[in-house]
Amino acid sequence: MAQMTKSFLLRILAFLQILIFLELSAPEVIFPQNGFNVVYPKHGDVINATDSTFVFGNYPSRDMRVSVNGFNAMLFPNQTFLCMIPVSAGSLRIETQFISDTSSFTDSREIYMPTYLFETSSKFTKIDDSFIYPDRNISIKQGEQIAVIAKGTPGSRMYFSLDGGKMQRMREANHRRRYRWKNTSFGFDTPWSLPRVRGVYVGYFTPNNEDIGKVIQVNYTLIAHDEQVATSINPNSIHVLNDEDVNIKAINQDILLFKKSRGRTLLTSFFEGTLVFDDGGYGEYRRIRFDKNQAFWVNHDNLTTAFENLQMKAVPTSPLYINRSRSDSDHVFIEFISENTIPFQIQHSSNLKNYTVMFWNIATTPGLLRNDYNDPLLSKIAGKMDRDNAYQVRLSFSKKMVWGYEVQKRDRNIVFRFNKAPILDLDSARPLEGMKICIDPGHGPDDGAFGLTGINEKIMTVPYARLLKKMLEERGADIILTRTEETELSLHQRPLFAEANNSDMFISIHFNALPDGVNPIKVRGTSTFYYHPHSRPLAEAVHKRMLKQTGLPDKGFHAKNLAVCRITSMPSILVEPAFIMQPFEETKIIDPVFQEKVCRGIAAGIEDFIKAHR
């Protein structure tokens, strides 16, 4: 009992410390005209939560009491509030009451929870059409397995039939297990999971020769314990293709596809004019191949069928020749010559000195590789036929890491440009002299995540970017910003902007947020993200320095496929110093002292990285 009392008192003490901090450093709250502001959720939001979700905002007077749907909200000294409320399937009205001794105000809004996230009621015999698979029209080859899924009354018997044929039993998935499927169900090469509720039924269908050419509709039948029956028809169809049919199409615009596999980063390139096999469809996406073991998904608008393609039974192969390398003060160039436009894949692992390039649709083994490169950065080029139509080239470099790379197309030739590290005098008073860094204040035109006071990422990332710009310029760096308060740039234009300005490094500043249903009080910390292996050392160095400056919990540095981190030509990272929707951390984000600490940490981390990898 004494131990429980001590633990309870410690929790109370910790909470009081947070309140004192908020009182001392309370930021300016952004109020609407009437002074009452429910910041989140917005009216009409779809909330992906199954148990509870958060409601937060601010109010104009300290003598107010705030409740949400009858639950008392946590109030903070800067006149903000946070409340966790229970949710259920479908529409939910949120009534937020602001009450003082002299006045009151009620904010009403509606949100919606998708029904597939919740268990279907056992009171009814029902098939819930909100979660079914196939979830769109698909095209599939004979012999390929596809999952058939439906959600309905738990503990029942579920069957599926194809075009009203023989009924086949489906099994109810164990809701306590996390099913993470990868191509088991046909579709994108990314994991996805079933709702963790009872009443999700799974069956499998493998089309055979008799199904070739058919467009099949899936029918569901559910039989409850009391023998009540419910039926449903999946509105999406399955088109079964002949495995022997050859459908060759041309890529009509340059496409780069990124993927992580076994610790390696894979960049697969399809230049305009590349011929590929089209052998499956998933809604508006088509599955393309240039190898039996390699499948990719592209939008059907990226493919063109020409008359000459219809006559082909195979994608033509091409000889591959390796031209001599050349270099200048900033780059090493390696050129490959082919007769046709060919697909290729660049593989980069944690060994930052080595790159592997795989070329497909190759007819013959290239001649003896030339070793007449004269740049000390490039130490070796080695190649071999990897399989019947693929040629593998291994590039080895002498430095700890290559700064980055780009791929350029010249007619049908492919030129790889590997970038050298900037030449800097790190012992001078301006150690970053001669280096250009692109700083990206995250979001804008969109707002990004919001805090309790009403601030958002779009607003708060700009002062951090300006302060970091000032600190790095004092160290001699040339700094460009992707946007300011007055200017905007779309997400995918930002990496292009950095490359067009010949930047040496890309730093994107954001603040973290939480998914619906997670209590913001319980999650705090600093995190950093990267994607390509050559950006990992920068992420690690900056993250370590930021943690030392902020003193917040360590949420780690992680590889994540984020648009601004996919730049290959330079080290690129995204930092999230704190959670903007966490009351304690939102107050820090607005605090100029914290802003200076974060930027000082990022700047020091950049210097640490350059010293270790110049």
Per the prediction, the chain carries an average pLDDT of 88
- pLDDT in the model for residue 148: 93
What CATH code is carried by the domain that includes residue 380? Answer: 2.60.40.3500
Q: Is the residue at 425 inside a domain?
A: no
Sign of the CA dihedral with 121 first, then 124, 125, and 126 last: negative
User: Can you read off the two tokens belonging to residue 472?
Assistant: 């790095």
Predicted pLDDT of residue 399: 85
Which of 186, 216, 241 is where one domain is finished?
Answer: 241
Give domain status of residue 269, yes or no.
yes
Query: And the tokens for 385?
Result: 């036929």
Calculate mean pLDDT across residues 346-358: 90
- Say how far residue 515 (Cα) sits from the centre of its chain: 14
Span of 251-255, 276-280, 387-391 with lowest mean pLDDT: 387-391
pTM: 0.88
Q: Lowest mean pLDDT: which of 71-80, 131-140, 382-391?
A: 382-391
- Residues 455 and 579: their CA atoms lie apart, in Å, by 12
User: Residue 183 — very low, low, confident or very high, per pLDDT cuts 50/70/90?
Assistant: very low
Specify the pLDDT at position 191. Answer: 53
Question: Once rounded to an integer, what is the mean pLDDT over residues 350-377?
Answer: 78
Strand (E) or helix (H) holding 15:
helix 2-24
Flag whether pLDDT at 30 surpasses 90: no
Total domains in the fold of the chain: 4
Amino acid 194 reads L
Q: Of residues 220 and 263, which shows the higher confidence score?
A: 220
In degrees, to the nearest 5, what angle opens at C-alpha 256 toward C-alphas 253 and 258?
155
Pair 4, 58: CB distance under 8 Å: no
Considering only residues 412 and 333, tell me which one the structure prediction assigns the higher pLDDT.
333
Confidence of residue 585 (pLDDT cuts 50, 70, 90): very high
Check residue 10 and give its pLDDT: 40
> Lowest-pLDDT range, 14-23, 272-281, 289-298, 482-491?
14-23
Q: Tell me: do 515 and 396 sit in the same domain.
A: no
| Cis preceding linkage at 445, omega within 30 | yes
The answer to whether residue 427 sits within a structural domain is no
Choose one of 373, 390, 420: the last residue of a domain. Answer: 420
CB 76 within 8 Å of CB 22: yes
pLDDT at 105 over 70: yes
pLDDT exceeds 90 at position 43: yes
For residue 180, what pLDDT is reported? 53
Tell whether 577 and 465 lie within a shared domain.
Answer: yes
Shared-domain flag, residues 339 and 415: yes
Give the model's confidence band at 308: pLDDT under 50 very low, under 70 low, under 90 confident, else very high: confident
**What phi, psi does 421 have (nearest 5°)?**
-65, 145
Q: Give the residues across from 180 on adjacent strands.
A: 193
pLDDT of residue 186 exceeding 60, the answer is no
Closest by CA to 130, choosing from 143, 145, 113, is 113
**Does residue 473 sit in helix, strand or coil?**
helix
Please give the pLDDT value at position 510. Answer: 98
User: Per-residue confidence at 192, pLDDT binned at 50, 70, 90?
Assistant: low
pLDDT at 246: 84
Task: Please compute, for residue 339, the number of CA atoms within 13 A of its CA located in the half-sphere on the CB side.
Answer: 9
383, containing H or E segment = strand 378-387
| 386 and 255 within one domain | yes
**Is 551 among the domain residues?**
yes
Strands across the sheet containing 37-40:
37-40, 52-58, 80-86, 74-76
Q: Are residues 97 and 218 in the same domain?
A: no
Does residue 549 form part of some domain? Answer: yes
Nearest to 117 by CA among 146, 92, 83, 136: 92
Do 21 and 99 fall within a single domain? yes
- Claim to verify: residue 555 and residue 609 sit in the same structural domain: yes
The structure tokens listed for 434 are 């001669």
CATH, residue 166: 2.60.40.10
In a domain, 568, yes or no: yes
Do 393 and 298 share a structural domain? Answer: yes
Strand ranges of the sheet holding 378-387, from the earlier edge strand across to the other edge: 255-261, 264-270, 344-348, 354-360, 390-397, 378-387
Paired sense of beta strands 478-481 and 436-441, if any: parallel
Q: Which residue has the higher pLDDT, 313 or 299?
A: 299
> Cα–Cα distance between 113 and 119 in angstroms, integer?
12
Q: Which residue has the tokens 């819930």?
A: 128
Last residue of a domain, one of 184, 219, 241: 241
> Which pLDDT belongs to residue 306?
73
Q: Is the pLDDT of residue 184 over 50?
A: no
CATH code for the domain in which residue 536 is found: 3.40.630.40
Using a pLDDT cut of 90, give the percent of the chain over it. 64
Considering the domain architecture, whether residues 159 and 95 belong to the same structural domain is answered as no
For residue 572, is pLDDT > 90?
yes
Average pLDDT on 319-339 reads: 86
Q: Do the domain assignments include residue 413?
A: yes
Residues 274 and 403 in one domain: yes
Q: Are residues 465 and 317 in the same domain?
A: no
Which residue, 138, 141, 132, 147, is CA-closest to 204?
147
Beta strands in 210-365 (DSSP E): 215-223, 229-241, 248-251, 255-261, 264-270, 275-282, 285-291, 294-299, 303-304, 320-322, 326-327, 331-338, 344-348, 354-360
Residue 122 lies in a domain: no
Check residue 34 and give its pLDDT.
62
Domain that residue 260 falls in? 251-420
Give the pLDDT of residue 614.
73
Q: With 50 as the cut, is the pLDDT of residue 20 above it?
A: no
Q: Which residues contact 314 (CB under 8 A, 6 or more apart)?
A: 246, 248
**Model confidence at 374: pLDDT above 50:** yes
Q: What is the mean pLDDT of residues 419-438?
A: 90
Residues 106 and 133 in one domain: no
